[in-house]
Structure 1
Amino acid sequence: MADEMVLRAQRFINITYGNGATLGISKLEENGRTGWPVMYALTRALQYEMGISALSNNFGPGTLGALQSKYGKLDETTIPSANFCRIIQSALYCKGYDGGEIDGTYNDRVKAAVVKLNQNMGVAGTYPGSSLWPKVVKGLFNMDAYVTVNNGSDTIRSIQQWLNGRYVLRKDYYIIPCDGHHSRDVARSMLLAIQYELGMADGVANGVFGPGTQSGLKSHTVSTGSSGVWVQLFTGAMVLNKRPVSFSSSFTSSLASGVRTFQSFMKLPVTGQGDFQTWASLLVSYGDQSRPGEACDGVTKITPARAQALKAAGYKYVGRYLYNPSTTSLPEKEIQPGELATIKEYGLRCFPIYQTWARSVDYYSPEQGATDCMNASYKAEEHGFKPGTRIYFAVDYDAVDEEVTSHILPYFRRLREQMNQLGSPYKIGVYGPRNACSRISAAGYADASFVSDMSSGFSGNLGYPMPENWAFDQIVTKTIGSGDGRIEIDNNIASGRDTGQGDFYPTPSEKLDIGFDIDLWPSLLKEVEDYMNLIGKPGGTGRIYTLQECLETIISHDAAITSAARRYRMRKALIQTSAFWEFCHYSLKDVGEDAGVVLYHTGVIPDWAKDLPKVERLVDSSTGLAKISGRTCILSRNNSIRAGLLEGDILDATADGDRWAMWQKVNQDNVFSLSTVPHLHIWAADGKPGDHAETRIRRPALDYNETEIFEVLRRYQGFGDEAVAHAKERMPLYAIFEKYNLAIRGA
């Protein structure tokens, strides 16, 4: 929204300074909107009026020093010229204060605005009256706000004002915003305040969490009954970390309770005191880097000797990379053959990480999200990670908030969608700075965070609290072990939210299937149609879909089928054959039965069945593109859950509510239906527990022979002569699918 006085300020700069030529800038757009271009122009104009030859956008030490040496303070007695005053008046308007008409006079309106500005900054006690002191001028010529904005916290604002008021006279302390939001500047100011209270001199105090600061904090534990400035600093740090406590100079029992909650959340010793480790975790993202971690990650192969060294050092969880696109750089970055077996043998657990580049904003796009999801899932399946494993996708750079909005969230949204299309074989976690982790998780695109807190200077870490769903907290790089067991790792604190995986599928001896090559579609369609027409299937009338529509649907869900086949180490032709055969036999009779199920469970005939001649109540039916009933869906998935192949709750196949819930999913969700087909095959091989008893056979495998293929295809349909006859007809169909799959994956 345009502001008339800001517009006048822009016009003043353009007219007075030759449309910016005198200041070395372009002409300002006269739009009445405050922004950095205006503040930079005013800064340069101020420097020009003070006789500074090298003009700059930065209101740095030279500008501040010139103000101090030339004028000491600015008021009606020291303002050197009308234009100098107009610059001050313009800056006041750009900050939302009444600058007094930009008339070149330090009048009563300007004085009143300065008084209000000092109050809002929290420095009125230090700088009483209506004079502008140099550090206040510096704060005037930037985009910081001194009132709460964007739902800022009044409590945080009071902390910001307190810091300004108490420390503004210190040499390296500059006025921070009082907008009610934690930030990089506020975090640095808190560290400066700690150092000042420790007695560090100007020039020594630097806002860095170094050895001197750490040593000093170790002798400043605060606890119940403590009072004074150290408690104010501690409660301020708690508030800035979004802990629900009061900013106070008294350490109460209520505060102690809040501290214990924070310590428990951060996996610190729960003392209820403001001890060194708690101070550290409040002041810098990595906290006390000497803390022992139970988790680590690295780019080095875990050999038996290294596994022993990790175990001896107290580590339980090891983060390893699923993929390395380079054949020369970091040769052991990707999980190596036999490595997961070693991890398991030594009682360690592994959490997988996916990162190829991911070190700049231009890497992230929805298309990249889909690609990374597919590649990560396929690599996880190859390495042997079981369903339900969480993969951490990386944001390995200092992503500012605007980039999280514009690039990172769309990337993770598409990644989440693609994982759903694969049948949700793996959970999604995020590795990155605190802000990125929190925002991605809040959007529902990740359910756990691996936090890159070691990068304490990242803007995405400074001023942001720990994500609520943190699983691993990366705090320092270190080397452990010796000799063959020596290994460099990143030391991580584990919250217990993710314990990784301790058991893995063995490396397959044969190639896993990969995605379909769409160039082969015409020939596949012709072979399938020719064969189905040859055997007269599906035959009869009342069929809902053509053979081409059925095959198109199966191929359109190739990603889900391929992922399931790789995950459970079976040939995708087994899934394709069963699903396609059932789908092309879907008839009007099936539609009527589906309507009967809806009527049974809801008491209402669905709109899509209003024109059917007769709908009878039916508790269950074989439905969806793979024609799976609610009952068999439950039985097959229960079997896989009990076998540790699938995450989920055991349901009751005899309970109407459970059957109805599963029936709706296989009826309405094609990915869910197709993802259930391999569980039906596994259940059939296990003898169909809970159903018509069958002899147990070997579960579907990559090297299944024709006898095993036939038996599983027959069991999908049931038992008896018709099931046997149809299985015989499906064997050539299986051979067609396998012919094309083999051509794509290679022998």
Structure 2
Amino acid sequence: MADEMVRRAQAFINAAYDGKLGIGHLPENGETGWKTMFALTRALQYELGIATLSDTFGPTTLSTLQTKYPILNASTVPSANFARIIQSALYCKGYDGGEIDGRYNSRVIASILKLKQNMGVDFAYPGSDLVPKVFKGLLNMDAYTTVNGGSNTIRGVQQWLNGNYVHRRDFFIIPADGHHSRDVAKSMLFAVQYELGMADGTANGVFGPGTQAGLKNHPVASGDSNTWVRLFSAGMVLNQRPTAFTGTFTSALASAVSDFQAFVKLPVNGRGDFSTWASLLVSHGDQSRKGAACDGVTRITPERAATLKAEGITYIGRYLTNPTGGKPYEKEIQEGELATIAANGLRCFPIYQTYGRDASDFSYIAGRTAGQAAINAALDHGFKPGTRIFFAVDFDALLEDIVNNVLPHFKGIQDAIADDGNRFQIGAYGPRNVCTRVAEAGHSTASFVSDMSSGFSGNFGYPLPADWAYDQIVTRTVGTGAGSIEIDVNIASGRDTGQGTFNTPRTAKPDTRLDPSVTTAMMTDVGKYMESLGYPNSGGTRSYQHWKCFQTTVLDHDQVITELSNRHKMRKALIQTTAYWEMRHIDPADEAAWATVIAAFNTTGKYIRDTSTGIAKQRAVTLIGAWNHGLTKGYVTGRPILDVGRDEDKYNIWKKAYDDQAFALTSVAVIHMWDIDGKPGGDDNSPAIGPPRLNFNDREIYEVLRRYQGPPVEPALGEAKKRMGLYYIMEKYNSISRNV
């Protein structure tokens, strides 16, 4: 909402510092935001005589301000513009700054007093003087009153921390908005270190060996009354436990501690021992704990199973796929491994992860793809219906990443699982904030929390999700000799118990004709997926509706596609996906172009334009390149080598793809074989994928689908991601058919 005084502050910056701050013209929209705060910070640096201006109120700005103007008031403000910066900043923070007239007047004084009171530093910095650390807190977007339903109890903790420790060198004023955050969590660690007697420069806000050793000597329990109890109760409050912020360890606090210990699976004693301190202060808690669960990227052998049992581990997390096929080579569940797990009385919970290292890897489309791919892989390995699959978000997702990418991704997973009949449950693997928000959106039923990544912004300052099933705390190597194995140790809550018995794994059998019992469901699922991408089953601007494309490219030529699959050792789904996708994208402009090409050749004998043609939208140059390559390699026989420079050769093969659907589908397989070999002589410099296999990994499938469309640039890159989702739906029903 626009504020007139904020607009006047923006106008002041533009008028007084035009061309001086290293930034463009500031929008005069009356809306407070980081751009305005950054501009005010640069204006302050300019007034301080700092040569290199930046958006950051960093050590140079602070030290210069402390040296030149350790106290700012009506007598010490060096210039009218300096005062206007203070007045403008006050308005941007929601306080009265006077008339932005360059005067440190009574209205400014009253606002500085109120600001320090709200921060909780009014006793540390009495009076109306503006001191450097308060100035630093004035020039950011932190709030010092409760906002967005903030807790008054948490705000009390924040104000207490500010007031108690603001005089320490490395402690800066934190928000007092009633919400836990990364900055608040770090301030708690600083406070603990200061109370342990660490000097400035030694205290660093990190839960290191010195801090841990010190805390082991400061347990708190019923009857204690001191600063350590206050810090401990602060930790309880910040972890959203229902207790007061207090300096006395009451019976009510002891009861709340017992509840917390039971929740995080610590020994329940109602005392503030080291393990409880650790669980309150850092996401991974006490890393010396043993857990009943683990996860890892190494095959479980009988010897390793014995090691894990000796460690007290029952539940083992293993990956459904290895998306690249590369190192670590045993990341995917290996042949016979689940039988070994079951034979040793252990249980397995499956994890699905493709790349997942960046927000760009997450979207609704990618989620639909991941959901169906995980279903296929779970069935291949022998997981039974009812199993919960944990889908990974293995990066430090910020709030905007969660809202814009992760939540739509899990909605896509949920839709894919629902379309499959909800045979499997959905779990979320990731930082605390990711897991909590996915669960709150209704997209998951349990969380596998990557708490070992304690520095993640989504872990630091967030409580353990209420639905946590596994809590990943440390990497550890256990066992010796053949039983040695590196694992991530997980605490188990009991909300998920994995699976202890498994169906017989499905082997990589050759494809067969589609079983008649699956075709209706297959057509329905393909239609739903395409609708999710914005392609209606009927109507729209495309030439062919869903039913016609499916009938033509999947059902009518099922025998041809099956033979091609068996001959070339490639999955039918690769051929079906490409052919369906291309036919679904034919539009009237394509058909008009085809008519023009045919008419021109019939009239002049010239092939005037190499437009894509037929149900699989193939160009003459591509067809000639692929077929010539196939003839040379022995993939195909019975056709002459064609000359890409001859109009007649180009037109004839183009026209055959236009007239003959079986030829067009055969050409899809031939083009895929060319693409797999690196498309020598073609328009793609990508390396060869390797010999065709029935068990291509995700990366290889993606590359085959992408190369059909074109070189590794847009739109081929993005379109191939959409084709991946279609591929896994096609593969689902082919898999059912070959395993009947």
Q: TM-score, normalised by structure 1?
A: 0.69
Residues 331/741 of structure 1: CA separation in 2 closer, same or farther (3 Å cut): closer
- SS class of match (2:427): strand
Q: Deviations over 1:403-425 (max 9, x none)?
A: 11111111111211111110111
Whole-angstrom distance in 1 between the partners of 2:30 and 2:193: 42
Give how far 1:306 is off.
1.1
After superposition, where does 1:451-490 map in structure 2 within 5 Å?
Answer: 451-490=449-488
Instruction: Quote the residue 2:496 is aligned against.
Output: 498
Q: What is the Cα deviation at residue 743 of structure 1?
A: 12
Letter paired with 1:26: G
Pair 1:223 & 2:230 matched: no
Q: Which residue of 2 aligns with 1:11?
A: 11
**Candidates 153, 177, 200, aligned match of 1:179:** 177
One-letter amino acid of the structure 1 residue matched with residue 55 of structure 2: N
Q: Does 1:410 align with 2:383?
A: no
How far apart, CA to CA, are the structure 2 residues paired with 1:381 and 1:194? 50
Counterpart residue number, 1:73: 71
- Distance in 2, matches of 1:89 and 1:179, equals 22
SS at 1:440 equivalent: helix
Instruction: Find runs of 4+ consecutive structure 1 residues off by over 6 angstroms.
Output: 512-518
DSSP 3-state at the match of 1:23: coil
Aligned pairs for 1:523-672 (under 5 A) are none
Quote the residue 2:246 is aligned against: 248
Secondary structure, counterpart of 2:101 in structure 1? coil
Question: What SS class does the counterpart of residue 120 from structure 1 fall into?
Answer: helix
Equivalent residue for 2:156? 158
**For 2:487, what is the secondary structure of its paired residue?**
strand
Whether the 8 Å contact between 1:115 and 1:130 is mirrored in structure 2 is yes
Distance in 2, Cα, partners of 1:746 & 1:317: 29
Structure-1 separation of matches of 2:91 and 2:242: 36
Structure 1 distance, partners of 2:130, 2:452, is 40
CA contact (8 A) 1:67 1:73 kept: no
CA offset digits 1:518-559 (Å, max 9, x no partner): 9x989x99xxxxxxxxxxxxxxxxxxxxxx99x999x99xxx
**What residue number does 2:205 align with?**
207
Q: List gaps (5 residues or longer) in structure 2.
A: 524-545, 555-732
- Once the two structures are TM-superposed, the CA of residue 745 in structure 1 deviates from its matched residue by 5.2
Please give the alpha-carbon distance, in whole angstroms, between the structure 2 residues aligned to 1:514 and 1:77: 90
Distance of 1:344 and 1:443 partners within structure 2: 34
* Aligned counterparts, 1:272-287, within 5 A: 272-287=270-285
Q: Which residue of 2 aligns with 1:312?
A: 310
* 1:21-57 residue CA offsets vs partner (Å, 9 max, x unmatched): 2100011000000000000000000010011101111
Residue of structure 2 equivalent to 1:197: 195
Which digits, 9 at most, give the CA deviation of each residue in 1:161-195, with x for residues without a partner?
Answer: 00000011011000000000000000000000001
**CA distance 1:379–1:78, change in 2 (3 Å):** same
Name the CA distance, whole Å, in 2 between partners of 1:552 and 1:466: 47
Deviation, structure 1 residue 514: 9.3
The one-letter amino acid paired with 2:359 is V
The alpha-carbon deviation at position 326 of structure 1 amounts to 1.6
Q: Secondary structure at the match of 1:262?
A: helix
Structure 1's unaligned 5+ residue stretches are: 526-547, 557-739
- Contact persistence 2:294–2:317 (CA under 8 A): yes
Partner of 1:605: none
Work out whether residues 231 and 251 of structure 1, in 8 Å CA contact, stay in contact via their aligned partners in 2: yes
Contact 2:379 2:506 in 1 (8 A): no
In structure 2, do the counterparts of structure 1 residues 513 and 351 end up closer, same or farther at CA, with 3 Å as the change threshold? farther
1:340 aligned onto 2:338: yes
Q: CA deviation at 1:517?
A: 12
1:483, CA displacement in angstroms? 1.3
Contact 1:229–1:249, Cα closer than 8 Å, also in 2: yes
Q: Deviations over 1:436-458 (max 9, x none)?
A: 10111111111000000000111
Question: Residue 699 of structure 2 aligns with which residue?
Answer: none
Higher relative contact order (CA 8 A, sep 6+): 2
> Hey, what does 2:126 align to over in structure 1?
128
C-alpha change, 1:743 and 1:412, in structure 2 (3 Å) is: closer
Structure 1 distance, partners of 2:52, 2:231, is 40
1:276-305 Cα shifts (integer Å, max 9, x gaps): 000000000000000001100001111111
How far did 1:314 drift?
A: 1.4
Q: How many residues are treated as equivalent by the alignment?
A: 538
Question: Sequence identity of aligned pairs in percent?
Answer: 62
Q: Secondary structure at the match of 2:135?
A: helix
Q: In the aligned structure 1, how far is the partner of 2:314 from the partner of 2:181?
A: 35
CA RMSD of the aligned region, Å?
Answer: 2.7
Displacement, 1:508?
A: 3.6
**Paired residue secondary structure (2:20):** helix
Q: Displacement of 1:515 after TM fit?
A: 11
Contact residue 320 and residue 332 of structure 2 kept, 8 A: yes
* SS of structure 2 residue aligned to 1:22: coil
Question: Residue 149 and residue 744 in structure 1: after superposition, are their counterparts in 2 closer, same or farther (change >3 A)?
Answer: same
- Equivalent position SS for 1:497: coil
Q: CA deviation at 1:330?
A: 1.4
State the TM-score, normalized to the length of structure 2.
0.70
Shift of 1:507: 2.3
Please tell me the residue identity of whatever aligns with 1:353.
I
Aligned to 1:109: 107
Partner of 1:542: none
